[in-house]
Amino acid sequence: MDTSNELLDSAGPAALLTLDGVIRSLNAAMATALGRPAVQCLGRDFADLWPAGQRMSAESLVTHAAKTKAVAMRVLDFPARDGAPVASLIEARPVKDPATDEQLVWVHALDARNDLTSLLIPFRMATTAAHLGLWMYSPNDHQLEWLGGAPAVAALFPDPTTSLSRVISAVHPDDQEALRQLLRSASTQQSPWVRVRYLPQHEGWHQLAAQTRRIQLGYDGPERIFGLIRDDTKQEKRKEEAQAALTAERQRAKDIADFSSALITAATEQELEQVVLTRLAATFGASGALLALVDEGRLRVSTDAGIATWEAGVLHGLPLDHPSALPEAIRTGKPQFILDREDYIRRWPQGAEFPRLGRLGSDYAVSIMPLVEAGNQPLGGWLVTYSSGYRPSLDERTLVGTLADLAGQALRRIRLQQARVELAAALQKTMLPRLPEHLAGLEVAARYRPSRDGLDIGGDWYDAFEMPDGAVALEIGDVQGHDVDAAALMGQVRLSMRAIAAQERDPGTVLMRTNELLTTMVPPRFASCTMLHLDPRDGQVIGTSAGHVPLLCAHKDGSHSVRELPGGPVLGVVPDTEYGEEIFTLDEDSALVMVTDGVVEGPGLTLDAGLERAGTLAGAALRDGLNAEETADRVLDAAVAVDHLDDVAVLVVRRA
């Protein structure tokens, strides 16, 4: 070509550039392809007129031709305007302007209609480098052509050309519509990744991700839909495994937190055993667990279902100085881990002398952890069995040790609390009186149950004793508080009322004198009380109350009534108080039931409902022919069974 016009006289895009890439002239096709009027292109850098993703390639194309004086080719995508972007094979060739003898670069789109495959080579190279697969879809004949890419992805599609229907048949039914929609809506911009499950021949399901873009192949060439395929199967599997591991770790953390919380809140040795035997093996993936507690120098062993009864029985009752693994760990406070039976016999040769004991650990590993508390005597230990070959990590050994320390602290706390409870029970027992064994014409029975909180000691009391005039004095009361001070004050009040009653016949006077005593105490404490004076010969009752719950009267026909006695405020609050009295008659085969507020009140029980329940139970007991002892049991058992938090006391007197 001798003139610039001849170089630009082409149906395809063409332009003449300076050696530094500035457009000297261009034809209409090039201006149209670049999406600008020709006048706006002149004098501009050729590379700057391309989309951002194409500028570097366009610049390198021109630079290569200008510097090497050789022909260079690149596949570039002209920007899309109203249609799809045009993938064109662009040639850059050095030329000389015959008019000025100036060196120029001639860039123009080659006619690739007879070799469309050449336009696809850069795509295939890029997808291979990115570990993706490449396919091309022709909407007119519904054919897909697999163009290759990463070998692992290309291997999923062994047929280079196949129908759309065949591909869709290998897609999971739930994902088929998503793939169809991806093809129908293919635009000139890259689509989002769409996930589909694909079942290739002779393999399981693969998790694939697909992305599409519509491109025109060559200037005036056909439009095709190109797709990228990514195989996420391994990544999804790793993600699922990681998620499963995370879920398991979260569950393990929750189990450990629950285990710790349960140890802290265990209130009895039985509860502690339950916590260890139900949670220990499950928390650490073990096959079984047993708990050994030291009682008077010997092991008391309990076990879960994962360790055979005979295995636990071998250890039960062993002295703490026995030459074997579990007693040694507890005695020395040093954890032990036994790999197998051979390891056991090597470290404890004496085990050979105890065949049944030596068999422990023959087909599984054993971890023994003492329950210790610094500076105290050995408390016990737990033994956990694992499958053969198990090796605990340092973190797990540390964690198990921490829980064992926590269990040791819990056990020490429980045993100290039990000692306090036993002391409190003994104190309470000495505070409460022994009722008269024989009262002519009367049956008297009393029951007391401490609260479920604190030291299990409180201020509830009852008393019954004969008066000098042959009558029987009956009293029941409740001193403020649930501690040793309350119990001590209860004893003082009860003994004071006995002493006053020996001198004063009327119950009202007894309460008045007792109130005078309490109001002078420092610090002040108060008490509620009901006192009766019952003549067994005629059933006459004189009764009074100091702020106490009402009295119940039960009858042989099963009926009952609630009697509000006159009186005054609780004892110990208002000085110089007089307490009124009421006189009534207790019929034969009827009973008076005196209770403290813990019997008839609770978190889920109102006073009226509680009185009705206790009265109904007492009436039914008399109707059924039960004596005073059995009637008291019925009333007390009902109170204990429902929301029993406070001390409870019941005093029943039946006129035979």
- Whose CA is closest to 487, among 464, 457, 442? 457
Number of domains within the chain: 4
Residues 6+ apart with CB under 8 A from 484: 424, 427, 455, 457
Residues 6+ apart with CB under 8 A from 114: none
CATH classification of the domain holding 85: 3.30.450.20
- 93 and 122 in a single domain? The answer is no
- The CA-atom distances, in angstroms, between 328 and each of 176, 318, 378, 397, 403 are 67, 11, 11, 18, 20
Residues 6+ apart with CB under 8 A from 189: 213
Buried b / exposed e across 339-359, counting CB within 10 Å, b at 16+?
A: bbbeebbeebeebeebeebbe
- In 10 A of CB 535, how many CB atoms? 17
- 73 and 184 in a single domain? The answer is no
- Whose CA is closest to 75, among 95, 96, 53, 94? 53
CATH classification of the domain holding 144: 3.30.450.310
Does residue 332 lie within any of the structural domains? Answer: yes
Does residue 176 lie within any of the structural domains? Answer: yes
- 125 and 77 in a single domain? The answer is no
Sole residue written with tokens 């008391």: 300
Most confident of 122-126, 422-426, 600-604: 600-604
- 619 and 535 in a single domain? The answer is yes
Rounded average pLDDT over 572-585:
93
Does residue 557 lie within any of the structural domains? Answer: yes
pLDDT of amino acid 126:
74
pLDDT of amino acid 645:
63
d(Cα 503, Cα 74) in Å, to the nearest integer? 125
- 106 and 121 in a single domain? The answer is no
Of 85, 110, 135, which residue is a domain's last? 110
pLDDT in tens, 14-41: 999 999 999 999 999 899 888 889 999 9
- 519 and 603 in a single domain? The answer is yes
- 200 and 320 in a single domain? The answer is no
Q: Is the pLDDT of residue 384 over 50?
A: yes
User: Which secondary-structure segment (H or E) carries 365?
Assistant: strand 364-371
- 357 and 292 in a single domain? The answer is yes
- 438 and 566 in a single domain? The answer is yes
Return the higher-pLDDT residue of 466 and 389.
466
Does residue 281 lie within any of the structural domains? Answer: yes
- 98 and 129 in a single domain? The answer is no
- 482 and 347 in a single domain? The answer is no
Sole residue written with tokens 């008077």: 296
Does residue 261 lie within any of the structural domains? Answer: no
Does residue 427 lie within any of the structural domains? Answer: no
pLDDT in tens, 608-650: 998 999 999 999 999 999 999 999 999 988 877 665 567 788 9
- 304 and 335 in a single domain? The answer is yes
In the chain, the percentage of residues whose pLDDT exceeds 90 is 32
Does residue 245 lie within any of the structural domains? Answer: no
- Helices 507-519 and 484-501 cross at an angle (nearest 10°) of 140
Q: Is the pLDDT of residue 454 over 60?
A: no
pLDDT of amino acid 312:
83
pLDDT of amino acid 1:
43
- Give the least confident one: 132-141, 413-422, 473-482, 551-560: 413-422
d(Cα 139, Cα 160) in Å, to the nearest integer? 17
Mean pLDDT over all residues of the chain?
85
Return the higher-pLDDT residue of 193 and 119.
193
Q: Is the pLDDT of residue 421 over 80?
A: no
Most confident of 117-131, 334-348, 556-570: 556-570
pLDDT of amino acid 438:
79
Does residue 255 lie within any of the structural domains? Answer: no
Q: Provide the pLDDT confidence category of residue 236 given band limits of 50, 70 and 90.
A: confident
Of 93, 110, 127, which residue is a domain's last? 110
Return the higher-pLDDT residue of 3 and 62.
62
d(Cα 531, Cα 360) in Å, to the nearest integer? 66
Return the higher-pLDDT residue of 10 and 45.
45
CATH classification of the domain holding 629: 3.60.40.10
End-to-end alpha carbon distance in the chain? 141
pLDDT in tens, 275-309: 999 999 888 888 899 999 999 889 999 998 888 88
In the chain, the percentage of residues whose pLDDT exceeds 70 is 91
Q: Provide the pLDDT confidence category of residue 341 given band limits of 50, 70 and 90.
A: confident
Task: State the DSSP code for 523.
Answer: S
Most confident of 94-98, 450-454, 585-589: 585-589
pLDDT in tens, 151-169: 888 888 888 888 888 888 8
Cα dihedral 352, 358, 362, 365 in deg (nearest 10): -120
Domain coverage including residue 643: 432-655
Return the higher-pLDDT residue of 539 and 159.
539
- Specify the pairing of strand 86-96 against strand 103-109: antiparallel
Of 220, 236, 252, which residue is a domain's last? 236
Rounded average pLDDT over 228-234:
88
pLDDT of amino acid 563:
94
CATH classification of the domain holding 405: 3.30.450.40
Three-state DSSP string of 37-88: CHHHHCCCEHHHHCCHHHHHHHHHHHHHHHHHCCCEEEEEEECCCCCCCEEE
